[in-house]
Structure 1
Amino acid sequence: MQDISVVNVIVPIFMVIGIGYLAVRTELMPKSVIPGMGRFVLYFCLPALIFTTLTTTSIATAITPYYLIAYGAGSLLAYLLGFAFSKGVSKSSTSEAGLNALGMSLSNSAFVGYPVLLQVFGTLPAAAFTMTLMVENLVIMPLALMVLELSRALSGGGSTRQVISSFVRRLVTQPILLAIVLGIVYSLLGLGLPDIVSSGLGFLAEASAGVALFVIGGSLVGISIKGDVWKISWVTVGKLCIHPLLVALMVWLLPPFDRQLQVIAILIASMPMLSIYPVVAGNYLDPARYAATLVVATLMSFVSISIVLAVLF
């Protein structure tokens, strides 16, 4: 694996984030358009990228069990550690503990991880990116939502059946998950896409990285870094340090597998939490502290990602 310049990888990423921030801060772009741009990436660009990638990938050769175990187990351990720490040390409610754990264990692989991978490897490592999204969308996010929905139902007198019904509806309507499922089906059946369809989806896929980073920057405008400094700090440290260390531990414990996949698993784990973290939190608690945590983690990730890149390369 060739050496890379950490500065050449990190600076362009945060430059686009900065452009997005300045565009909204100076009101060149109204902040009201940022959520729509985010939905454009989540509902169209990334699903197009994932679907087209999977349709041109052999699933049999793309899936590496050790990668799934390393990234999945490391992320799951980060979630459980965050939840246990919240309940045992911070004496948090179940909903708060679930949100803290979510912030520690679910990376912003779509909006930050994807552009970083492009910068590091030149082209998207399709298999690793797909497996990452599978873990996040089939394991971590469903687990987090189930805990949060169960906590809300129990506190509000709801039934287990209502929780399961709400959970299933949320799960089956995730566009990224649908793209993964359809892409896997197409790949396994050996179905090809017509050139005209592939080209159209390609236009959407190519917009993913730039628009995603712009949205991150624009989303940071107006968010005040206030709240419980202790909780903001330890969730940030948990995401940027503990999560990648746990994934690295799993990589070390498992039998050797592809070096590039090992690097990608640890690198993706070092990303800040998902950009919709405050949005998810707002469905259960006051989102202010979680928005502040997102700002701090995103800014500090400049340092953490740089360190991870320097160590791994």
Structure 2
Amino acid sequence: MLSSILVPLVPVILCIGTGYLIARVGWVRAAAVPDLSNILFLLLTPALLFRTMGQVHLQELDFRPVGLYFASAALLFGATLAWAPFTTATAARALAHTFSNTVMIGVPLISLVYGPAGLVALFTLVSLHSLVLLTAATLVFELAQARAGADDGHSMARTVWQAVRGSIVHPVPLPILAGLLFAQTGLPLPEVVDKPLQMLGAALGPMALLLVGIALAHTRIGAHWRGALRIAAIKNLVMPSTLAALAWALGLSGPAVAVMFTASALPVGANVLYFTQRYGVMQEEVSSAIAISTALALATVPLALAAARLFM
């Protein structure tokens, strides 16, 4: 059993480690990270998302596991807001506690462990992940900012609309929706299009994991490591524990629930940092939390994969 869990993780760890090493020896400089990210998010990710979802029919999708994920995220998000004063800093922590790295780490990991069926379940989550969590976070950030008297006078409705639009008109949800629409036509994807998409999609996994290692090598933990460690521990351990408890209470199980549980155990996603930069709060702590939770995931994800077998 242990070997069946560890075997899929070996290439994940090796790729992240290789990325870290080549960055540390100076082969990839920090200035190159944004360009590498653009290749990942604007080219490789859309290719894999479109090709995978282009073979899925809507009646085959089960949204109950996705609902389970968002319900557990809502519980943890609300608990974080209730535990501390209602400020933008608390909102940033709440988002960091619940927003997973579903693409850079989630896609290659789920593909290795659960195969194509697992990717379909993950992409169903990914198609709504940013839209639901980031829109909810925008509302909370705006309310906290207005309560603090720091509102700059812009319309909250406009801000929320911008968040919704940005979460849909995005290189992750758009190819998922386009692929699903194409699949409903019943037409086969021409080979001249399918083969390049297959090659680009196959490059996503190793490229994403290398970039995780490169980003880790160029991230400084700084003086905020205690707060960052708390965020990482809650994201990597409390979030999946919350989902597991909710699944048990509702009597939900199956491979898709196992995928949701694994996704909930992934480290903090980079979109949280973009939010902190937008609102000018918690930037260094969240940046450190992303690095720590990613490193911590090398130990916690194997535990999550072992526990996920209980849902199969």
Partner of 1:244 in structure 2?
A: 240
- Counterpart of 1:50, as a letter, is L
* Counterpart contact for 2:222–2:288, Cα < 8 Å: yes
Q: How does 1:23-38 map onto structure 2 within 5 Å?
A: 23-38=22-37
**Offset at 1:84?**
2.6
- Say which of 259, 267, 270 aligns to 1:272: 267
Partner of 2:256 in structure 1?
A: 261
Q: What is the root-mean-square deviation in Å for CA atoms of aligned residues?
A: 2.3
Q: Deviations over 1:107-133 (max 9, x none)?
A: 111111112122223546232112221
* Counterpart contact for 2:98–2:239, Cα < 8 Å: yes
Q: How does 1:89-168 map onto structure 2 within 5 Å?
A: 91=85, 94-123=87-116, 125-149=118-142, 151=144, 155-168=151-164
* Structure 2, gaps ≥5 residues long: none
1:210 aligns to 2:206 (yes or no): yes
**Offset at 1:4?**
4.9
- Say which of 194, 198, 201 aligns to 1:198: 194
Alignment partner of 1:246: what SS? helix
* Counterpart contact for 2:105–2:266, Cα < 8 Å: yes
Q: Deviations over 1:116-154 (max 9, x none)?
A: 122223546232112221331331122223433555575
* Counterpart contact for 1:223–1:295, Cα < 8 Å: yes
Looking at structure 2, the residues matched to 108 and 213 of structure 1 have their Cα atoms a distance apart, in angstroms, of 11
* Counterpart contact for 1:117–1:124, Cα < 8 Å: no
* Counterpart contact for 1:240–1:271, Cα < 8 Å: yes
Give the share of equivalent positions with the same residue, in percent. 22
Q: Deviations over 1:49-95 (max 9, x none)?
A: 1111111112211x11321221121122222223333xx2xx3x632
Partner of 1:298 in structure 2?
A: 294
Q: TM-score, normalised by structure 2?
A: 0.89
Alignment partner of 1:273: what SS? coil
* Counterpart contact for 2:224–2:288, Cα < 8 Å: no
Structure 1's 165 and 134: CA in aligned 2 closer, same or farther, altered over 3 A? closer
**Number of residues paired by the alignment?**
305
Looking at structure 2, the residues matched to 149 and 183 of structure 1 have their Cα atoms a distance apart, in angstroms, of 34
* Counterpart contact for 1:66–1:254, Cα < 8 Å: no
- Counterpart of 2:276, as a letter, is A
- Say which of 222, 225, 233 aligns to 2:221: 225
- Counterpart of 2:134, as a letter, is M
Alignment partner of 1:109: what SS? coil
Q: Deviations over 1:15-64 (max 9, x none)?
A: 21111111112111222111111122112212221111111112211x11
Partner of 2:59 in structure 1?
A: 60
* Counterpart contact for 1:106–1:140, Cα < 8 Å: yes
**Offset at 1:268?**
1.1
Alignment partner of 2:279: what SS? coil
Q: Deviations over 1:214-249 (max 9, x none)?
A: 111111123222234442232112101111011112
Q: TM-score, normalised by structure 1?
A: 0.88
**Offset at 1:300?**
0.8
Alignment partner of 1:156: what SS? coil
- Say which of 167, 170, 175 aligns to 1:171: 167
Q: How does 1:13-28 map onto structure 2 within 5 Å?
A: 13-28=12-27
Structure 1's 301 and 183: CA in aligned 2 closer, same or farther, altered over 3 A? same
Partner of 2:39 in structure 1?
A: 40
Partner of 1:5 in structure 2?
A: 4
- Counterpart of 2:140, as a letter, is V
Structure 1's 83 and 190: CA in aligned 2 closer, same or farther, altered over 3 A? farther
- Counterpart of 1:138, as a letter, is L
Q: Deviations over 1:253-287 (max 9, x none)?
A: 22444x21221111111110113433332222252
Alignment partner of 1:111: what SS? coil
- Counterpart of 2:96, as a letter, is G
- Counterpart of 1:75, as a letter, is A
